[in-house]
Amino acid sequence: MVSVCWESGVCCKALTRVRHHDQIRPERRPFKMGDPVQLKDEGNKYFQAGDIDKAIECYSEAIKVSKDKKVLAVLHRNRSACYLKKENYACAASDASKAIDVDAADIKALYRRCQALEKLGKLDMAFKDVQRCATLEPKNKTFLETLRRLGAEIQAKLKTTFSTDSRVQNMFDILFNEDMDKEKKEKAANNLIVLSREDAGAERIFQNNGVALLLNMIETGKPEMILAAVRTLSGMCTGHKARVSIFIERIKIKEIAMATCNLFQCINDSLTGEDTMEYGKEEALVLDASKDLKTILLSLLEMVANNKVSGHGRDQALNLLTKNVPRKDLKEKDNSRTLFTVDHGLKKILKVCGQVPELPDQLSLTENTQLIASVLLNKLYDDLKCDPERNNFRDICDEYVKSKIDPNNMDKNLHAINTISGLLQGPFEVGNALVGTQGIMEMMVALCGSEREVDQMVAVEALIHASTKMSRATFIITNGVSLLKDLYKKTKNEKIKIRALVGLCKLGSAGGDDYSLRQFAEGSTEKLAKQCRKWLCNPQIDTKTRKWAIEGLAYLTNDADVKDDFVEDELALKAMFELAKSKDKTILYAVACTLVNCTNSYDKKEILPELVQLAKFSKQHVPEQHPKDKKDFVEKRVKRLLKAGVTSALAVMVKADSSILTDQTKEMLARVFLALSESPKDRGTIVAQGGGKALIPLAMEGTDAGKVKASHALAKIAAISNPEIAFPGERVYEVVRPLVSLLHTDREGLQNYEALRGLTNLAAYSEKLRMKLVKEKALPEIENYMFEEHEQIRQAATECMCNLVTCKEVQERYLEDSNDKLKLLVLLCGEDDESLQIAAAGALAMLTAAQKKLCTKLTRVTAQWLEILQRLCLHTNPQIQHRGLVIIYNMLNSDDSDLAKKLIESELLEILSVIGKAEDNPKRQEAIDAARTCLVRAMDLGLIKPFTSPS
């Protein structure tokens, strides 16, 4: 890397004494038009006479006609002096810069630019210019005085600028000033955000009645002011229990949560201790945080069913409950927050699930609200520890649904059925039990036959969700297929027709990918899929309805014929990807399922032929693979998906709301990424479309299987990509931990190997990344794999270590007594695998160059050391030979004179002589030069003498 010192386009000039013999303005003498020298002289005379405007005019005319660079530099320098007189500092700086461009040591121009920059307030740049002047003329008192003065001014300005009290006061002054314009007030509010994240700034804001001011900002109703105020409060709440307790007394959590969930999260983490900060003395001020936590929880539950809350506010409340109520680890004993939520808020969450937007007087919802509520219900149910707790949950749900059933009020019945749909998408067994209760299925069938379209839609959606499990699907195949077929054929409403079709799709795929368990006749699934694709590609149909077409494909793509037809339909693929990028994120799960099916990235148990024959003999069912599910077909489908832009769609999906993007959905996305990155040729496309960045969060959060799959895909990309491009900015450091996690012994050999290759590439990138590998405790794992019997894994581990040995921490491990690390490197140099030898010898060469003690230690770890080094120096591979000779030079250059003597007394001297005397050869020049360097070093040590011929 070449560092370039760039000087800004401004100028300054050293002052010189000008003797004014008289102050009488001279008459302008006639001169030859276009003569820059005469124009310059004329300008000088006007300047001396004090007529600055005329002087500028002369210099400007001369600049227009002059072609000599040196003359131009003088003209610009002179005009700069004029502009200084006129107090036009920007033009003065610009002209001086043009003179400096010609001659960087033009001391007059430098000082004039310094003067101009000082007046413009650019003290740091002015300081650099006068510093340069003082370097050129160290005894010039003017320069030294200016240097001292500017230095003092800069320090004073920094002190004022960075004074916390001053900054806080300035922001408050601007916000309290009614005459201040809107832009400056908003800027001040944003500056408060930065201040609130510093301890001193947060306390100063708090002490200056900052809470009241920030609440006033929220009440303005202006989004930018609300956001700035809430972010400031978030910074002030972080890690400070006492301050949080006071906030809870003075502000309404509901209003804050509606603006943003970040403040609540900071409050919650502070009170629960999940922010892992050390509180110090102030922690003693809050003895029991449970009361405050319950206050917050009740406020959020109130928001969930409050008809005054916006759809986005409701989503935020549900998201916060999902994130903070259920235990993060089921091994924890305390699930009191879940029990509290079930007792005080379960009915409110069920109310959200039961909303039918097409009916009047419903709660305000977004496209995602009801699915978020279902996810929350599922997490709450999973967090229950025993049967009595689960029974209580089921009883509340049962009581709520029955309370909404009313033979005389169809709208209430719709609410009850939609609530069951929400439960079927969440805790399925609870919803399934409700479907089985007397009268519910009959009501669903009756609603399907209703004349109201909204009744039909609600009933069909409930039927679709009820057929998720194969056992329930069997029941509905018997009782409901004819009903769905009638709806599909008779209704003219596209919204109902597509839902009925999805129900048929779902029932038709009950056998999964087992080719032998088809529910419908040959060709029926292809016809259903064709209709789904037709709806999917129709832009006239609304997004919510087209979403159901993907739901249908999610089930039908279990059939390989459907998969192949779908990926060949590029318009349908792109339509699905566009929907995946839309605001309605309820579609994510269906898109992920479809992509998993198309890429065959689901878990597939290998079936041995012998077991198949045995099963057939015993008349047991044996799953059959579709001919189009073989590897060649899968690879073609992957190519088609990449061409259609699947990676960019996946990258958008990963950024979805955390509640919508469930752990199961994340796992499916990770599986798809892994399938896409299987071929090295496709990884560049994945990187170009943002796949590298999207994989990082998938590798950090989700199910264990999902994290492993995402980490494996990251390893594949990291192994062959430029890290700076694949993972731009600070993201590259986040890749290290997922890759290190693949080094555990319980991972598959392929995962170990590709993780090592990825880490090798990262370790070659920068010292900071190498230090990150050390901090993530990757060294012991890498060293273990250097002992691995599998040749490729051992080679990958050795190559990774070769890139890590420049770290002092790694070198210290090799300096430790009684370890086999150095011995292993020496022995690996003697292996037959050339790639392994290159890596081991490279590591040894760098270690012995960095740590001279290792040169002597190398001779003690094994008796074969000399033989191995000789083999390296005689190797036919130039890279290996060069590394061996570098090791020899390092040993000769060590402080051990006995070692150097031992080397020269061995056959190595003859080897060095033969290589050193060889003719220059571009292919082996590095080795030849290294041998000659070794011989010169031996002569310097007095171990050999140069050969001289007789005169």
CA dist 74 and 52 (Å) reads 16
Q: Is the pLDDT of residue 621 over 80?
A: no
Q: Is the pLDDT of residue 730 over 60?
A: yes
Q: Is the pLDDT of residue 905 over 60?
A: yes
Query: What pLDDT is stored for residue 31 in this prediction?
Result: 40
Long-range CB contacts for residues 380-387, cutoff 8 Å, separation at least 24: 380/325, 380/326, 380/338, 380/341, 380/342, 380/346, 380/427, 381/426, 381/427, 381/430, 382/326, 382/330, 382/427, 383/325, 383/326, 383/327, 383/330, 383/335, 383/338, 384/335, 384/338, 384/339, 384/342, 385/335
733 Cβ neighbours under 8 A, 6+ residues apart: 768, 769, 772
Q: What percent of the chain lies above the pLDDT cut of 70?
A: 81
Query: What pLDDT is stored for residue 909 in this prediction?
Result: 92
Question: 874-904 pLDDT, tens per residue?
Answer: 999 999 999 999 999 999 998 888 999 999 9
**Residue 15 near residue 107, CB atoms below 8 Å:** no
Question: 473-525 pLDDT, tens per residue?
Answer: 455 555 566 777 777 777 777 788 888 888 777 766 654 444 444 445 556 77
Domain pair 36-139 / 167-276, same fold:
no
Q: Is the pLDDT of residue 145 over 50?
A: yes
Q: Give the Cα-Cα-Cα angle 639, 644, 648 (nearest 5 degrees).
A: 105
Q: Is the pLDDT of residue 573 over 50?
A: yes
In CATH, what class is 36-139? mainly alpha
Place of tokens 């259903």: 528
3-class SS at 894? coil
**pTM for the full model?**
0.66
**Residue 82 near residue 56, CB atoms below 8 Å:** yes
150 Cβ neighbours under 8 A, 6+ residues apart: 118, 123, 126, 127, 130
For residue 741, what pLDDT band results from cuts at 50, 70 and 90?
A: very high
Annotation: CATH topology of 167-276: Leucine-rich Repeat Variant (1.25.10)
**Residue 600 near residue 629, CB atoms below 8 Å:** yes
319, 590, 588, 348: which is closest to 465 by C-alpha? 590
- Domain boundaries, given as residue ranges, for the chain: 36-139, 167-276
158 Cβ neighbours under 8 A, 6+ residues apart: none
Average pLDDT rounded to a whole number, residues 758-771: 92
Query: What pLDDT is stored for residue 839 in this prediction?
Result: 94
